[in-house]
Amino acid sequence: MRIWDLHCHLSGVPGLTPEERMGQLLRYADRMGIERLCVYMGMKWSQDPAADDLMKQNDEVLRAITKYPDRTFGFVYVSPKHVATSLAELERCVARGPMVGVKLWVAERCNVPEIDPIIQRAAELKAVIFQHTWYKTMGNYAGESTPAEFAELAKRFPKAPLICGHTGGTWEVGIPTIRDCPNVSVDLAGSDPTAGITEMAVRELGADRVIYGSDSGGRSFASQLAKVHGADISDADKQKIFCDNLRKMMLPILTEKGIKA
């Protein structure tokens, strides 16, 4: 099967430079038969990054993907707390650069109106938009989004290609929360490989809206691949989840940039 990994980071990976860390991630990926990696955020994270930190982290990802252009895709890291910088980074990294997606994390909740110009411009560029979401037992970070808040955003931008990161963590709640948002797919990454997550996502959303990701280097490729390999679904649906759905979502921007994949 072809496997593309939606959800990878430079953080938590051995290496002194972005290039070294990307090379190490790819060595791990090769062991697991993973063809391509989507990478976002730099070597050191901040929950509420300043504008210059966003730029620095994007610079590190640019270095990593430039070293391995045939194996990696970059997503630009942006924040609704820094709209002007985020829009400028979209132009620098996506419109004029090699990146093909957008990453939003936990600085501000995704249903705030300040995020709208970022989503609008990303959609114009055909960039895939990935939003971290979580339902935490002990409470979310102040700016951390839930799937319910993400659903609000999705309904404001019904044609934008959106991905609900981590399926909300508490996936039994997250999956049905975004069910009525047809432009939203779910990311399986970043939690323990609990039995049932993939089956429920396929049952509730259809296999076409489910995407494999690992959250490496915070998680092993093997533990996250197991969510799909071990799922009680057809091989055809596994292929959709492992590669075909993400590739289809990214195809408009890849085609526009002349990237063959």
The predicted structure's pLDDT at residue 113? 98
The predicted structure's pLDDT at residue 153? 99
SS3 194: coil
Model confidence pLDDT, tens digit, residues 129-171: 999 999 998 899 999 999 999 999 999 999 999 999 999 999 9
The predicted structure's pLDDT at residue 137? 86
The predicted structure's pLDDT at residue 194? 85
Host H or E run for residue 174? helix 171-177
Report the alpha-carbon distance of residue 188 to residue 167 in Å, rounded: 6
How far apart, in Å, are the Cα atoms of 245 and each of 108, 113, 131, 159?
A: 28, 29, 17, 16
The predicted structure's pLDDT at residue 191? 81
In this prediction, residues 36-44 reach a mean pLDDT of 98
Report the alpha-carbon distance of residue 83 to residue 207 in Å, rounded: 34
How far apart, in Å, are the Cα atoms of 103 and each of 22, 75, 137?
A: 18, 6, 24
Model confidence pLDDT, tens digit, residues 54-95: 999 999 999 999 999 999 999 999 999 999 999 999 999 999
**What are the DSSP calls for 66-134, one per residue?**
HHSTTTEEEEEEE-TTSHHHHHHHIIIIIISSS--EEEE-SSS-TTSGGGHHHHHHHHHTT-EEEEE--
Please give the residue that has the higher pLDDT: either 41 or 137.
41
- Please tell me the total count of domains within the chain: 1
Report the CATH number that the domain containing residue 151 is assigned in CATH: 3.20.20.140
The predicted structure's pLDDT at residue 129? 99
The predicted structure's pLDDT at residue 176? 98
In this prediction, residues 91-118 reach a mean pLDDT of 99
The predicted structure's pLDDT at residue 193? 81
The predicted structure's pLDDT at residue 190? 84
State how far Cα 180 lies from the chain centre. 20
State how far Cα 179 lies from the chain centre. 18
Q: Which of 10-14, 109-113, 136-140, 214-218 has the lowest mean pLDDT?
A: 136-140
The predicted structure's pLDDT at residue 116? 99
Structure-token pair, residue 250: 């990214």
Model confidence pLDDT, tens digit, residues 168-207: 999 999 999 999 999 999 999 988 888 899 999 999 999 9
The sheet with strand 72-78 has its strands ordered as 4-8, 36-39, 72-78, 101-104, 128-132, 162-165, 184-187, 210-211
In this prediction, residues 100-118 reach a mean pLDDT of 99
In this prediction, residues 39-57 reach a mean pLDDT of 96
Model confidence pLDDT, tens digit, residues 3-30: 999 999 999 999 999 999 999 999 999 9
Structure-token pair, residue 141: 């970070």
Report the alpha-carbon distance of residue 40 to residue 47 in Å, rounded: 14
Instruction: State the average pLDDT for the chain.
Output: 97
Residue 204 CB-density burial (10 A; 0-12 exposed, 13-18 middle, 19+ buried): middle
**Residues 3 and 242 sit within 8 Å (Cβ to Cβ):** yes
Model confidence pLDDT, tens digit, residues 222-253: 999 999 999 999 999 999 999 999 999 999 99
Domain that holds residue 200: 4-257
